[in-house]
Structure 1
Amino acid sequence: MKNFILISFLIFGKSFSQNYMITYSKSSNGKTIENQDVLMIFTNANHTLITTNNIISKKTEFPFEQNLVVKNSNEYIQIASLNDKKIIQTKDSISLNKQSFEYLPDTKKILGYVCKKAKTTINSNTIELWYTNDLKLNAAPTILGQNLGLVLEMTRNGNYSIIATKIEKTKSFPKLNLNSSESLDLVTYRDALLKSRFTTIKIFKDQIINFSEDSISNDTILRFANGTIALRKMKFPVIKKGSQIFADITEQSNGDAYDRTGSFFIIPTLTSISFLDGLKKGKAALPIYTNGNGKEYQGVVATQNYTPIVEMIRFFTPFGIKHYNTIQLKDKNWQDNVYYRQDISDLRNLLNNQEVYVGIFIGNYDKGGHKVSANITIHTEEELQSKETKILPLFCTNNVMEMAGQEYGTMFNVDKGLEVKFKLDQTLKNCKLRYIVTGHGGWENGDEFVPKKNSIYLDGKENFSFTPWRQDCGSYRLSNPASGNFSNGLSSSDYSRANWCPGTVTNPIYIDLGNLEVGTHTIQVKIPQGLPEGNSFSSWNVSGVLIGE
């Protein structure tokens, strides 16, 4: 629907009353904010336009927003020009009339005009406004205080201020293309403007991750390991240095009642062999790691010719969310889905202007399985400083090909544990190991439920140790309708676990390795893995990526 607003002086750039242009400066903690886009308002007896210098001079990038106050109707119109140059607007006829202020006796002069003081509280923020009535004009640099007079200064919580620096008479208003804008309700408008401020790359939409011989690939999505892995080839845009990158997943049960290990991952193709070879040809195509315990582990450590997968998000499904919401318990209103979101900005170089395979895995043996959607969003941060880094994937024992026979991470039952050698052809400074770890398996005495120390060795010397453990699992009870309830009053999803909970993300930790010189280095992970109990055994999913400057 198009909204045609007949404001001729705005459309034609002319007015029949005196126009003013007021310029404002923004400061924080008493210091002027550097490189700011100067805030400006154009106002007269009938209208106020809130805009910026860059918009007026056509130097700003899309999207951008301007605000118009129609004084005779007390309406506040927000107008946004989006990335695709589409113009949208929303009209608010209520907010201006609902504003209330405490009027204080204080006065001071700003730009030669006597100003009075008013105060209000918005969303726990205390806002002080200085306004003058000398010009017989109502206007303000935000929606707040439009009917007080001419607001020349606003201060929020005593530390952020907008202060008028110049008042000028002007002959005309800037032109606005209001008659070609689409009128939206406020929530839809805000959503469209927000999404226009960043880039969303949709990876999967309502993708089924299940266990079925009937799972097949199509032109877009590749399915492997009986449907428990979905893979997609994606071309990522140029990502500006300093940008923030986030990955998100939305999950629901499509029939599986259990908590499962999941991974949203990248397959690097930096070497002659990649994890894709294992998916297409079978686990035998992947290089083997052995540590003397008699087992063979496929594709878990980097070699001269092979790069393991890189986990963007390690996540865990809750017990049967959505599908089993029919289970009724008093005072339990189950969630419809679980949402995981994580900052993956440190993996920028693996995505920046690259064509890569992005995959998602949920280990399960259920024909209905799970339904997932996944995205990667890019948020440009022009002013955020960051140094260029080199990324070297080192190991990943999360056996995402579990349902195609890939061995579990049980290599920690001997002293050698997991060991990987890597060679640097240039010195890397301020190196960090991006380390994700979760313990699994066993019952009462299994490593899933018993704290175990993780020790990281660099070139034969212990560099770091900690005990990964989560004690907050009970916080996610409302995402776990099918979680078993025990005689002691606890549910299975309440129990503390080895760095994970049903329905959560496991965050990476960052282990400082210092500066690493040219040559061959060794990283070793040792964990005192528990003994098997009958048919049950313990295992550890660890992944590590070296990041250095």
Structure 2
Amino acid sequence: MKKILTLFFVTLIGITHAQKKQQTGDAYKITYLKSSNGKVTENQDPIIIFTNATETLLTSQNTIAGKNAFPYEQSLVDHLQNKYFQIGQLDKRKTVSTLDSISLPKQSFEITNETKIILGYKCQKAKTIINSNHIDLWFTSDLKIKGAPTLLGQNLGLVLEMNRNNNFVVSATKIEKLKKTEKFPTVKIENSVDLLSYRDLLWKSRFTTLKIFENEIINFSDAAKSNDSILRFANGTIILKKVKFPEIKSGNQIFIDLAEQSNGDAYDRTGSVFMIPANTKISFLDGLKNGVKALPIYENGNGKQYQGVVKTNDYSPLLELMRFFTPFGIKQYNHIQLKDKTWHEVVPYRQDISELHAALSNQEVWIGATIGNYDKGGHKISMNITIHNEENSTSKNNFLLPLFNTVNVMEMAGQEYGSMFNSEKGLLVEFTLEKDIKNAKLRYITTGHGGWENGDEFVPKKNTILLNEKEINSFIPWRQDCGSYRLFNPASGNFNNGLSSSDYSRSNWCPGTVTNPNSIDLGDLKAGNHSIRIKIPQGAPEGNSFSAWNVSGVLIGE
């Protein structure tokens, strides 16, 4: 859809000029600056409006000069018809616009008797409240025109100052009358959409979205097959996709968004999103393709062999991006009715993984997801990774080394559970740094498992971290907010004491949540050999039940 409208004599980036048309009446250019708590904002892009008796264009100095970063917006107000167009320039080629003919007439103001002089013009004060913000608008009628530095108050007169909560002010600093010989060109507003779609397109253009998985099934079935884009392993309980990441500037923000629904499985399950490091002779992909025996073995004397859990000279363990836990049967079991319970249909997970940018920036890597389950229907997930520019923010962390990961993502292909903590030796990883590392941190994720009354899932246990055999941190990972997520858990069992299974506190996880990493300061590390040991007083088995701990650790530094 295209619409031709008149605009003022100004060269605008991204707006196409059509035939010119002479307008009558005086036209003005007004420049505004923003200030906060009495101080003018530094390095700001001044707001510019061009206005006459019938139209107002809201733009900015950088937009006029062609220096604005994408995306940027401009607004065109038609005072005669009480409507306005918003024009979003998403990139060099793509423009989107929307028409709103409702908002302007609905604006309501209390006109007071207070007056003051601004730039030589007598102004009157109008008051309003928007979203609990008290806003004062100072407008003049002396120039016989309308306009404002925002869409608010466009029909009052010419607004020369906007004051929000007495701490944020937009003030006119210059009023320039345009020459009568200047003509008003016409312009085309293209790709018109409804207001909600416009806002969505503009918002999404502000960051980069990488679509990783869309409505993919993670289940346990001999029928699970790979295709050209998604590889499946361990009878379908692991999905894998090769992803090309753009360059990610230091300090930019990176988020994972994952949505999950039950496709048949009723139980709470461990989920993990991971990247496969490929900078060593052996990678986890070798284990996926050739079986767990292809992975290096870790032993600590307890009689068991643990495949692919610690770094060696020839192998890097999985880099865990996010640990999450499915709830009890969301969506699939919403038919279970309880009074005053309206179940959610999807559980959303969102986590900041910006600290891992050094492993992703300008890389083509395998990104995988797993949900441990033995159900033919399993679970359905969708997942995106988004990258957000962060102005005036830098991170010096440019070193990253995956050290250990005991999440047995290949459980359904025979990978051992992380039960090595029943030995005093616990989990030990030895590594060599080729250069000094400053401000080193261990990104540590830990969750305890063993789903019976005395299992480590329900018993607080201290995690102790030793650097070069000296204790550097210890804490008890424990979540006491699990009951907050009851509406994600329709199939959660109800007990005689009035609680549901999903209500119970657990070792750092709740059904339907993400487990946050712990950032453990390690200080400055010299080049050479080092070790990290994890010790947890893992509980003893009872009958066929046993406890295990899923822990992952990544060394990050400068």
1:374 pairs, out of 380, 383, 386, with: 383
For residues 393 and 314 of structure 2, the distance between their equivalents in structure 1, rounded to whole angstroms, comes to: 36
Look up the SS of the partner of 2:341 in the other structure.
coil
Q: Deviations over 1:420-440 (max 9, x none)?
A: 111111111111111111111
| Number of positions where the alignment pairs a residue of Structure 1 with one of Structure 2 | 547
Is 1:288 aligned to 2:287, yes or no?
Answer: no
Q: Deviations over 1:301-327 (max 9, x none)?
A: 111111111111100011111111111
Q: Which amino acid aligns with 2:228?
A: D
Closer/same/farther in 2, CA of residues 387 and 310 from structure 1, 3 Å limit = same
Look up the SS of the partner of 1:183 in the other structure.
coil
Residue matched to 1:76:
84
Residue matched to 2:230:
221
Q: Does the Cα contact within 8 Å between 1:442 and 1:533 map onto a contact in 2?
A: no
Residue matched to 1:365:
374
Q: Deviations over 1:429-465 (max 9, x none)?
A: 1111111111111411110011111111111111111
Residue matched to 1:35:
43
Residue matched to 1:532:
541
Deviation at 1:93, TM superposition (A): 1.2
For residues 436 and 31 of structure 1, the distance between their equivalents in structure 2, rounded to whole angstroms, comes to: 44
RMSD: 1.6
Q: Does the Cα contact within 8 Å between 2:330 and 2:345 map onto a contact in 1?
A: yes
Closer/same/farther in 2, CA of residues 9 and 523 from structure 1, 3 Å limit = closer
Deviation at 1:19, TM superposition (A): 1.5
Q: Does the Cα contact within 8 Å between 2:397 and 2:556 map onto a contact in 1?
A: no
2:120 pairs, out of 101, 112, 115, with: 112
Q: Deviations over 1:80-104 (max 9, x none)?
A: 1223622221111111111112334
Is 1:391 aligned to 2:400, yes or no?
Answer: yes
2:200 pairs, out of 191, 205, 218, with: 191
The equivalences for 1:7-46 within 5 A come to 7=6, 11-12=18-19, 15-46=23-54
Range 519-528 or range 21-30, more displaced: 21-30
Residue matched to 1:100:
108
Closer/same/farther in 2, CA of residues 49 and 81 from structure 1, 3 Å limit = same
Deviation at 1:174, TM superposition (A): 7.9
Q: Does the Cα contact within 8 Å between 2:262 and 2:332 map onto a contact in 1?
A: yes
Q: Does the Cα contact within 8 Å between 2:4 and 2:186 map onto a contact in 1?
A: no
For residues 34 and 232 of structure 2, the distance between their equivalents in structure 1, rounded to whole angstroms, comes to: 53
Deviation at 1:66, TM superposition (A): 0.7
Range 153-162 or range 270-279, more displaced: 153-162
Residue matched to 1:270:
279
For residues 260 and 299 of structure 1, the distance between their equivalents in structure 2, rounded to whole angstroms, comes to: 21
Q: Does the Cα contact within 8 Å between 1:236 and 1:353 map onto a contact in 2?
A: yes
1:338 pairs, out of 342, 347, 354, with: 347
Deviation at 1:175, TM superposition (A): 5.7
Deviation at 1:158, TM superposition (A): 2.4
Q: Does the Cα contact within 8 Å between 1:118 and 1:129 map onto a contact in 2?
A: yes
For residues 469 and 411 of structure 1, the distance between their equivalents in structure 2, rounded to whole angstroms, comes to: 20
Deviation at 1:504, TM superposition (A): 0.5
Residue matched to 2:15:
none
Look up the SS of the partner of 1:178 in the other structure.
strand
Q: Does the Cα contact within 8 Å between 2:4 and 2:188 map onto a contact in 1?
A: yes
Look up the SS of the partner of 1:273 in the other structure.
coil
Q: Does the Cα contact within 8 Å between 1:62 and 1:85 map onto a contact in 2?
A: no
Residue matched to 2:12:
none
Look up the SS of the partner of 2:351 in the other structure.
strand
Deviation at 1:203, TM superposition (A): 0.5
Deviation at 1:6, TM superposition (A): 4.3
Q: Which amino acid aligns with 1:456?
A: I
The equivalences for 1:443-482 within 5 A come to 443-482=452-491
Look up the SS of the partner of 1:334 in the other structure.
coil
Is 1:421 aligned to 2:430, yes or no?
Answer: yes
In structure 1, list runs of 5 or more residues that go unmatched. Answer: none
For residues 363 and 423 of structure 2, the distance between their equivalents in structure 1, rounded to whole angstroms, comes to: 39
Q: Does the Cα contact within 8 Å between 1:131 and 1:153 map onto a contact in 2?
A: yes
Q: Does the Cα contact within 8 Å between 1:468 and 1:499 map onto a contact in 2?
A: yes
Look up the SS of the partner of 1:168 in the other structure.
strand
Residue matched to 1:206:
215
Residue matched to 1:57:
65
Aligned identity (percent) is 66
Q: Does the Cα contact within 8 Å between 1:56 and 1:174 map onto a contact in 2?
A: no
Residue matched to 1:440:
449
Closer/same/farther in 2, CA of residues 155 and 253 from structure 1, 3 Å limit = same
Length-normalised TM-score, structure 1: 0.96
For residues 152 and 484 of structure 1, the distance between their equivalents in structure 2, rounded to whole angstroms, comes to: 63
Look up the SS of the partner of 2:3 in the other structure.
coil
Is 1:4 aligned to 2:22, yes or no?
Answer: no
Q: Does the Cα contact within 8 Å between 1:262 and 1:360 map onto a contact in 2?
A: yes
Deviation at 1:106, TM superposition (A): 3.4
Q: Deviations over 1:194-225 (max 9, x none)?
A: 11111110001100100011111111111001
Deviation at 1:382, TM superposition (A): 2.8
Q: Which amino acid aligns with 1:95?
A: S
2:288 pairs, out of 279, 282, 299, with: 279
Deviation at 1:539, TM superposition (A): 0.6
Residue matched to 1:483:
492
Deviation at 1:403, TM superposition (A): 0.8
For residues 23 and 404 of structure 2, the distance between their equivalents in structure 1, rounded to whole angstroms, comes to: 68
Q: Does the Cα contact within 8 Å between 1:211 and 1:226 map onto a contact in 2?
A: yes
Deviation at 1:9, TM superposition (A): 6.4
Range 133-142 or range 213-222, more displaced: 133-142
Residue matched to 1:354:
363
Residue matched to 2:188:
178
Is 1:134 aligned to 2:111, yes or no?
Answer: no
Closer/same/farther in 2, CA of residues 367 and 81 from structure 1, 3 Å limit = same
For residues 109 and 390 of structure 1, the distance between their equivalents in structure 2, rounded to whole angstroms, comes to: 58
Closer/same/farther in 2, CA of residues 287 and 163 from structure 1, 3 Å limit = same
For residues 385 and 509 of structure 1, the distance between their equivalents in structure 2, rounded to whole angstroms, comes to: 21
For residues 421 and 158 of structure 1, the distance between their equivalents in structure 2, rounded to whole angstroms, comes to: 58
In structure 2, list runs of 5 or more residues that go unmatched. Answer: 10-17
Deviation at 1:40, TM superposition (A): 0.8
Look up the SS of the partner of 1:219 in the other structure.
coil
Range 21-30 or range 311-320, more displaced: 21-30
Q: Deviations over 1:263-295 (max 9, x none)?
A: 111111121111111111111111111111111
Length-normalised TM-score, structure 2: 0.95
Q: Does the Cα contact within 8 Å between 2:7 and 2:57 map onto a contact in 1?
A: no
For residues 353 and 56 of structure 2, the distance between their equivalents in structure 1, rounded to whole angstroms, comes to: 42
Q: Which amino acid aligns with 1:234?
A: V
Is 1:167 aligned to 2:175, yes or no?
Answer: yes
Q: Which amino acid aligns with 1:89?
A: S
